[in-house]
Amino acid sequence: MRQVNSGLTHSLLDALETARSQGYFTRLEQLYQELPQTTCTRRQACCGLLPPMAPLEMAWWFCGQRGESSKERGGAARRLLEYFLLNAVRRLPCPWAGPDSCQIYPRRFLGCRTYGLWSPEAYAARQEQAQEGQRRVVAAWAELGVELPAEVSAPGPEYCDQVRVASGPEPRDRDLELMEERLYEAGHDLPGLEYLQPWDGDLSYAVAGLALGRQQALALKVSVTQELLAGREEEAEELLAQARKRARDWSRAWPAPR
């Protein structure tokens, strides 16, 4: 997976250009628009985790970032990198959770858009599935001799009963399941998009892995986690500062869309 001087791979850059020019992102936005408009009085209270994303959604984010200023790209890369490096030791909110609202609300992802639309039963099943994945993560850390704090392995956001459909019929669980399937199928024929598959739907992992190198990002996460759990705040901050600079420099070097 050869990289260009922007830190992105040739294949990924080509995939972003192809997706933009051939209407993949337009189709993604049209899929989002099939969901009804909603309201919620809790505003941002549920933004406790970075949502999982389909590869095409990740590509959509990367493509959108290329149109931002280098300062804005650097800030986004820093927040996502910190989320990846620190979320094993601290329960962090979504990197885009503002004081009272989502900072990227018009460009939020499917997981955010469907939250509160699932039935309580369907949401409980999905939450249990997520917890099973989290238990595997805890076990993997234990094999490294690291016991994660209870707060980071606690269940994700509880079911929200405050979401209301503003107009039109409420989607059924099966409708939402089919929408997810369509989303994951949407970019399967796009060459280069397979390089976003290894990040397991975690945009923070993708940013850390592309900015630092996959193995180095994982090793650094282990080091930062161990330092913080041992109470060595200064040592952890020194590692984080170096990583932030690399991520900022990496993101600022991205070429603009052609």
CB 152 within 8 A of CB 89: yes
Q: Can you tell me the distance from the alpha carbon of 45 to that of 70, in angstroms, rounded to the nearest whole number?
A: 30
Cα 231 to Cα 151: distance, rounded to the nearest angstrom: 17
Contact 38, 116 (CB under 8 A): yes
Q: What is the CA radius of gyration of the chain?
A: 19
- Cβ–Cβ < 8 Å for 150, 92: no
User: What does pLDDT average to in each consecutive run of 10 residues of the chain (258 residues)?
Assistant: 52 88 94 91 74 94 90 93 96 87 90 93 93 92 93 85 87 96 90 85 95 94 97 97 94 77
Q: For residue 253, which amino acid is it?
A: A
Contact predicate 97/41, CB 8 Å: no
DSSP 23: T
**Apex CA 172: angle with CA 51 and CA 45, to 5°?**
35
Residue with tokens 């994303």: 53
How far is the C-alpha of 239 from the C-alpha of 220, rounded, in Å? 8
pTM for the whole structure: 0.92
172 Cβ contact list (under 8 Å, min separation 6)? none
Q: How far apart are CA 250 and CA 74, in angstroms?
A: 8
At residue 3, the pLDDT reads 46
| DSSP E strands, the chain | 38-39, 164-165
Which among 141, 150, 148, 171 has a CA at the least distance from the CA of 37? 171
